[in-house]
Amino acid sequence: MGIENLWMGFHIAITPFNLWMAVIGILLGTIIGVLPGLGGANGVAILLPVTFTMPPTSAIILLTSIYWGALFGGAITSILFNIPGEPWSVATTFDGYPMARSGRGGQALTGAFSSSFIGAFFSIVLITLFAPLLAEIALRFGPPEIFAIQLLTFSSFVGLGGGNPLKSVVSIMIGFILAAVGLDIVTGQLRLTFGFTELMRGFDFIIAVIGLFGIGEILLSVEEGLSFQGTRTGMNLRVVLDTWKVLPRYWRTFIRSSFIGFWMGFKPGGATPASFMSYAFAKRFSKNADKFGKGELEGVVAPETAAHAAGIAAMLPMMTLGIPGSPTAAVMLGGLIIWGLQPGPLLFKEKPDFVWGLIASMYTGNVIGVLMVLAFVPLFAAILRIPFAILTPLIVVVCAIGSYAVHNSMLDIWYMLIFGVVGYAFKKLDYPLAPFVLALVLGDMAENALRQSLIMSQGTLTIFLTRPIAGVITAAAIFFFIMPIITPWWRRLRGGPPAGAPVINHG
């Protein structure tokens, strides 16, 4: 049954017009992904009007291909510029950028693209096989389960992130506080605006990301007296083939990260926590844990595999339940309605050609994508050879454009500069930036889940422990939160060396 449907889908996806749509989508998506601030969601939204006259299947293939392209493109800026084009490629910068700096940019890019492809492929196979089953599990998730999962994500920063756990907690709190600024959609009250109308619409995480990682990183780089002027990466077929020879060594990381990516990915906002969790786990289990953050290929492989697996998995609830798993999926859902399709479970019965054409196009789109980005890698590597004094103002200008484009607001450009200075100071003082951004993204969702759970339980927190699924997840989260406290004790009990916890900068 499944095989027949997939076969039918391939017949639709492999028509010349649809293949051409995939090529154009990937090319545009990669460019969009490379430009910071103009991410997948923006790019899909801008190109949505172009698709109105197309047949729905070709339209969704174009839009999803932009999305795959943006996923690939995010890795390019993360590695070459240390600017994550998307929040889920933040974790790729930790090791990707040091690799590019030490002249192994080609290896990092090949590793990133290949892992993206493997993560994506894993997710597509799972979508094809288990879509109905997994949708049923996710349907049973209530607010307590959603909040428990968020708790688990943040606890992994504190417990597994390395560095100062107290500062990780503070970073998470600042992110949540900034997310709370503005209108409270539940009660309709204004919060933390102190009478300033400019603060009413709150802080957008895209601005924060551009400022903290874009501007902040430029300030840090000039302070260190290091220029962006890169060494020749020597990117060619040989580097690609040599990297491919090394990659099978990380098969455990591939499997672990693919599972994390898929599991986190079909819930809203999943790709970003998935990439961070995957990075944290890879570091925990790696033999080269001390090399993480300094340019370890495994540190690129882990988040890229998970991010792309999660990015694909985000399509699953959109297709089966009509619930978007990511902002980009939300924009596509809007497209579905405009094309006259009713998203939800009925889509599988009423429009099997659309659904299976989309699933088959995920296979073709990602094969085309990985071949295209690998072929164009010398072009991207050339960006590294641009002199520093040209690149610095160029990045500032592109960051300003990206910040402005989000809400058409000059104030956002000022916020971006302020976030840049904050990012510079925080990074020097070892406050991790990643949990800060993540808390800002997930703030409203976490608060709503907490509120609804408390309403369900009449105000007692035990609801997170008594419901079976939420209970297991909460218990794991509590374990990670107290890990920095129990680890020194545990070491002492075993008579091991004193706790010289490696200080790894997470942001």
- Which residues, 6+ apart, have CB-to-CB distance to 388 below 8 Å? 227, 228, 229
Q: With respect to other proteins, which residue has the nearer C-beta, 249 or 428? A: 428
Residue 417 contacts other proteins per CB under 8 A: yes
Of 86-94, 95-103, 186-194, 312-320, which part binds other proteins (CB under 8 A)? 186-194
d(CA 271, CA 261): 7
d(CA 366, CA 43): 18
Residue 414 contacts other proteins per CB under 8 A: yes
Which residue among 237, 241, 255, 455 contacts other proteins (CB under 8 A)?
A: 455
Residue 393 contacts other proteins per CB under 8 A: yes
Q: How far is the CB of 462 from other proteins (least distance, A)?
A: 16
Which residues inside 308-347 make contact with other proteins, applying CB under 8 A? none
Which residue among 129, 241, 346, 410 contacts other proteins (CB under 8 A)?
A: 410
Residue 503 contacts other proteins per CB under 8 A: no
Buried-exposed string 130-148: b where 16+ CB fall within 10 A, e elsewhere: ebeebbeebeeeebbbbbb
| Partners of 183 in beta bridges | 190
Report the 10 Å Cβ neighbour count for 93.
Answer: 25
Q: How far is the CB of 31 from other proteins (least distance, A)?
A: 9
Query: Residue 57: which of 388, 364, 451, 473 has the closest Cα?
Result: 364
Q: With respect to other proteins, which residue has the nearer C-beta, 38 or 433? A: 38
Of 121-129, 284-292, 398-406, 494-502, which part binds other proteins (CB under 8 A)? 398-406
Which residues inside 45-64 make contact with other proteins, applying CB under 8 A? 46
Contacts by 183-187, CB closer than 8 A, 24 or more apart: 185/444, 186/448, 186/451
Which residue among 71, 215, 309, 329 contacts other proteins (CB under 8 A)?
A: 215
Q: How far is the CB of 263 from other proteins (least distance, A)?
A: 26
Which string of DSSP letters, residue by residue, matches 238-291? HHHHHHHHHGGGGHHHHHHHHHHHHHHHTSTT-HHHHHHHHHHHHHHH-TTGGG
Whether the Cβ atoms of residue 283 and residue 160 lie closer than 8 Å to each other: yes
Residue 413 contacts other proteins per CB under 8 A: yes
Angle, helices 165-180 vs 434-456, to 10°: value is 70
Which residue among 237, 255, 375, 425 contacts other proteins (CB under 8 A)?
A: 425
83: helix, strand or coil: coil
Binding marks (x or -) toward other proteins, 130..169, rule CB under 8 A?
Answer: ----------------------------------x-xx-x
d(CA 482, CA 478): 6
Residue type, 321: L
Q: Which residue has tokens 């990206």?
A: 402
Which residue among 347, 400, 438, 473 contacts other proteins (CB under 8 A)?
A: 400
Residue 459 contacts other proteins per CB under 8 A: yes
Query: Residue 162: which of 483, 491, 489 has the closest Cα?
Result: 483
SS3 labels along 385-403: HCCHHHHHHHHHHHHHHHH
Residue 184 contacts other proteins per CB under 8 A: yes
Residue 3 contacts other proteins per CB under 8 A: no
Whether the Cβ atoms of residue 97 and residue 78 lie closer than 8 Å to each other: yes
Q: With respect to other proteins, which residue has the nearer C-beta, 1 or 429? A: 429
Residue 390 contacts other proteins per CB under 8 A: yes
Of 59-67, 126-134, 215-223, 274-282, which part binds other proteins (CB under 8 A)? 215-223
Of 4-12, 102-110, 179-187, 284-292, which part binds other proteins (CB under 8 A)? 179-187
Interface residues with other proteins (CB under 8 A)?
38, 46, 164, 166-167, 169-170, 173-174, 176-177, 180, 184, 186-187, 189, 191-192, 194, 215, 218-219, 222-223, 225, 387-390, 392-394, 396-398, 400-401, 404-405, 408, 410, 413-414, 417, 421, 424-425, 428-429, 431, 447, 450-452, 454-455, 459
